[in-house]
Structure 1
Amino acid sequence: MFKPIRMPIMLGSIVDRRSTSGYFTFVGGNLVTWRSKKQKVVSRSSAEAEYGGMSHGVCELMWLRKLLKDLGCESKKAMNLHCDNKAAISIAHNPVQHDRTKHVEVDRHFIKEKLDAGIVDFPFVKSEDQLADILTKAVSNRSFHSCLDKLGIRNIYAPT
């Protein structure tokens, strides 16, 4: 029922050093939501920036899960949030505090709670397969069109 949310690598702006996060949400193979947003705070590491984005993604999944339950489509399976940052995935699975988590304490507890409850899972996806990168950074023309194909986005003006 649930398809993965795709989270991108977070890149800081050279002007204000704030990262941009973005994601796509799929239900039953269909793209239903997407978002790209500059984060409100400057992150001290890419893992911290990614983890902040993961927190927003988990919130989106929780909202979507509640909406689908209200519509009579409840699923007991964990929802996948694909992430291309191994450090952020490690922080989600590891309850031990370490230096990278001191600035993300609230997000760390929120995500760990949902992970332990089996509501979400964080499979690793290679950066070159990360669809949401087109929302957060410049990608090559080939990568851009490959992502559009995978998202099912077609040129409505192209001749059939």
Structure 2
Amino acid sequence: MAQGVCKLLWLRRLLRDIEFGPQKSMDLYCDNKAAIAHNHVQHDRTKHVEVDRHFVKEMLDAGIISFPFISSEYRLADVLTKAVPTTVFLNSLDKLGMCDIFAPT
């Protein structure tokens, strides 16, 4: 997320240089918004992400970036990484262009 925010900041500055600056916050689509930006509990094993978390949180509080909610039906990678309901699974497979090679023809 921190690298994505850095890229958005670079793009924002580039757009301002050519006098086409964004008028609102820039959207960063991610799946772990609660884990990084809004989680105030820090554990000893997560000290290496503390700097990145504060950077992302600072940009979020300043209104430079925003994390819009994305429904699971639009997150195609979920079918590859976690258990999803059958309807979401079948729709995601269709959107990814995957087919069941064992299905009767």
- Shorter-chain TM range is 0.5 to 0.7
1:115 maps to 60
Does structure 1 residue 80 correspond to structure 2 residue 24?
no
Please report the RMSD computed on the Cα atoms of aligned residues, expressed in angstroms. Answer: 2.5
Where does 1:93-108 land on structure 2 (aligned, <5 Å)? 93-94=38-39, 96-99=40-43, 101-108=46-53
Between the aligned residues of both structures, percent identity stands at 54
2:100 maps to none
Does structure 1 residue 91 correspond to structure 2 residue 36?
yes
1:90 shift after superposition: 4.7
Question: Deviation digits for residues 19-70 of structure 1, max 9, x if unmatched?
Answer: xxxxxxxxxxxxxxxxxxxxxxxxxxxxxxxxxxx11111111111111111
Contact 1:101 1:108 survives alignment (8 Å) = no
In proportion to residue count, which structure has more helix?
2
TM-score normalised by the chain length of structure 2 = 0.64
1:124 shift after superposition: 2.1
Unaligned segments of structure 1, at least 5 residues:
1-53, 146-160
TM-score normalised by the chain length of structure 1 = 0.44
Unaligned segments of structure 2, at least 5 residues:
82-91, 98-105
In proportion to residue count, which structure has more strand?
1
- Tell me how many residue pairs correspond in the alignment: 84
Give the Cα separation in 2 of the matches to 1:68 and 1:108: 25
Name the aligned partner's letter for residue 97 of structure 1. V
